[in-house]
Amino acid sequence: MNIYIVIPAHNEDRFIAKTLDSLVLQTLTPSKIVVVNDNSTDNTKDIISEYTNAYDYISIVNTQATKDHMPGSKVINAFYQGFKTLDTNYDIICKFDADLIFPPDYLAKITRHFQDNDKAGMVGGFCYVEKDKKWVLENLTNKDHIRGALKAYRKTCFEDINGLKPAMGWDTIDELLAQYCNWEIQTDTSLHVKHLKPTGNTYNPKAKYKQGEAFYRMRYGFWITLIASIKLALLKKRPGLISDYLTGYYKAKVKKEAFLVSEKEGDFIRKLRWKKMKKKFI
């Protein structure tokens, strides 16, 4: 299976070499890697260029996006700057972050999952962060969710969900829409990926209401938004975020922000959310 990888990178000169090293040393070599240098002001571009000179399957795209590190839209817009330079001869398309270290068999294992399960639309491992000199699970989500940092899609699934939404919550919407289209989300707990930079630690303060806005735009409704807000805030050990999330939800509702999914998709999403919550409690 041909694997194409797109890596958005904004000021990642501390990490990008480690990420690319882990990818070029894979037991299964990707067909193409595109690194998007997204308005970096450090040495990111120069480091990427060293790899494009050494490996013919690695290329660079330079963009001039906003300097604000806003969650969702910035990274997906950068992703598409790289994606549009690719042909369509891929079987698996990956969106990876520029601050990861993949185990050597990562691509081989996710490919095997795609080959063994025709219903697998998305496959991924888990992010681990360093705490007290030990690598521990970055426990912000359920075991059936693939973090936005390391997404891998079967081509037909990627097409069925119409790609990625340039908005906060894109890495939840993709999985919900994949299930709407009868695809399965498959995770592999044996795949430990080192995440060198904690999620969201460089986000702009203006983004604090974005999560609640995303809940509204995904058509969660108030009660699912409330439960999701409490859960996420507690996982982050920041209870004060609950107020921010709910404020963001109501701001989006008052402004009548555009929904990211159709009414029919929203109905499916709410039913799926309630079903999973009931399953946990029961």
Per residue of the chain (282 residues), give pLDDT as tens: 999 999 999 999 999 999 999 999 999 999 999 999 999 999 999 999 999 999 999 999 999 865 555 566 889 999 999 999 999 999 999 999 999 999 999 999 999 999 999 999 999 999 999 988 899 998 766 788 999 999 999 999 999 999 999 998 999 999 999 999 999 999 999 999 999 987 655 555 567 888 999 999 999 999 999 999 998 888 888 898 999 999 999 999 999 999 999 999 999 999 999 998 887 776
The correct CATH number of 3-195 out of 3.40.50.2000, 3.40.50.620, 3.90.550.10, 3.50.50.60 is 3.90.550.10
Q: Report which secondary-structure segment, H or E, holds 184.
A: strand 184-195
The mean of the pLDDT values for the chain is 92
Measure Cα distances from 3 to 100, 159, 214 in Å: 17, 15, 30
Which positions ≥6 away from 52 have C-beta within 8 Å? 35, 58, 59, 60
Measure Cα distances from 174 to 83, 142, 180, 185 in Å: 17, 15, 10, 10
Tens digits of per-residue pLDDT, 187-206?
Answer: 999 999 999 987 655 555 56
User: Cα separation of 16 and 7, whole Å?
Assistant: 9
Tens digits of per-residue pLDDT, 57-84?
Answer: 999 999 986 555 556 688 999 999 999 9
Locate the domains of the chain by residue range.
3-195, 205-281
User: Cα separation of 211 and 203, whole Å?
Assistant: 12
Tens digits of per-residue pLDDT, 229-253?
Answer: 998 888 888 898 999 999 999 999 9
Q: Report which secondary-structure segment, H or E, holds 141.
A: none
User: Rounded to an integer, what is the distance from CA 172 to the centroid of its chain?
Assistant: 8
Q: List the one residue out of 139, 125, 245, 144 whose CA is nearest residue 199.
A: 139
